[in-house]
Amino acid sequence: MLTKFIRRLGFASPTHHKKGLTPAIIPRSEHRVSRSNISKHALKVLYQLKDAGFQAYLVGGGVRDVLLDRHPKDFDVATDAKPEQVQKIFRNCRLIGRRFRLAHIHFGSHIVEVATFRASAPSQTINPHLVHSEGGMILRDNVYGTLEEDVLRRDFTVNALYYNIADFSVLDYVGGLKDLKEKTLRMIGDASQRYREDPVRMLRAIRFAAKLGFHIHPESEAPIFELAPLVKQVPSARLFDEYMKLFLSGYAKPSFDLLRHYQLFSVLFPESERCINSKQGEAVLAFISGALKDTDKRVAEDKPVALPFLLAAFLWQPLQEKTISLMEEGLSEPLAFF
């Protein structure tokens, strides 16, 4: 069904950004996204926003994964309603975030994240709600816009597919369906600039490539080797969130391999990478790989996993070496280890 529709379309280049984008509109009869695939909580949010007179779209990984015949756990919603307007509609809503304001709709332990359409404001725009660091990283981004602008603020084309609750169609502005079929991760816009705006996007590229088994488009992967050191600027809380997604989702070993390939692991864990490249490197790598594979196996078996276990595996050899160094300076083994 999807392949037939893609062949019928003549997509422009996904990086061809002009004002007034025209989407490919895939009617319900030609895609597999069904309300039966969507959580009841996400559907409730979509319908209540629609009934309140706002646009409401399912977007991101939820749409992508359903189209890939996967079973997403989370569904994100995009709308033209401002966060404060969303809060007025839902009594179970909590507004979060400084960098970009989001609405979390709580249904017990389940949360549906609602984001207002973001504007594609350039870095030189003078706007008190858009704040960049000297290196170009976006620090605060509460600039709201249109659906078309929101598309261009998404990271990868396969994450910029919008399911419209109004008519159950899927909107594709940037060739996401074609890239989905070709198993390609392609950054929307200039990859170098997008990574500088938010270095976490490089980690997201690794995560999606590992999870989906996709390859990163050459134009999107080339800047990673140069810009990998920028991840050191990312706040530790955001890095921790990314570690959870990278290593506790069942794809820890392929994520680790890709992080090393793109020289991101050496930035995040320089001492661990040094040990991997030392005389004991083969044993260190086998030790870390075993911990990663065991974690993936436990996830597949629906057993509990813990990030500290993997962080300890990464840092075990550096810890041993530091302990020996301190013992040579005269400390007892227990004290040196502590």
Q: Which residues are catalytic?
A: 74, 76, 155
**Dist CA 3 CA 139 (whole Å):** 40
Which pair of tokens denotes residue 115? Answer: 């984001």
Q: Nearest CA to 35 among 25, 44, 24?
A: 44
DSSP, residue by residue, 224-292? HHHHGGGGGGS-HHHHHHHHHHHHSSS-HHHHHHHHHHTT-HHHHSHHHHHHHTSTTHHHHHHHHHHHH
User: CA torsion 113→116→120→121, rounded to 10°?
Assistant: -120
> How would you label 89-100 residue by residue, b for 16+ Cβ within 10 Å and e otherwise?
bbeebeeeeeeb
Strands (E), the chain: 24-26, 56-59, 76-79, 93-96, 102-107, 110-116, 130-132, 138-141, 161-164, 170-172, 184-185, 215-216
What is the number of other CB atoms lying within 10 angstroms of the CB of residue 60?
Answer: 25
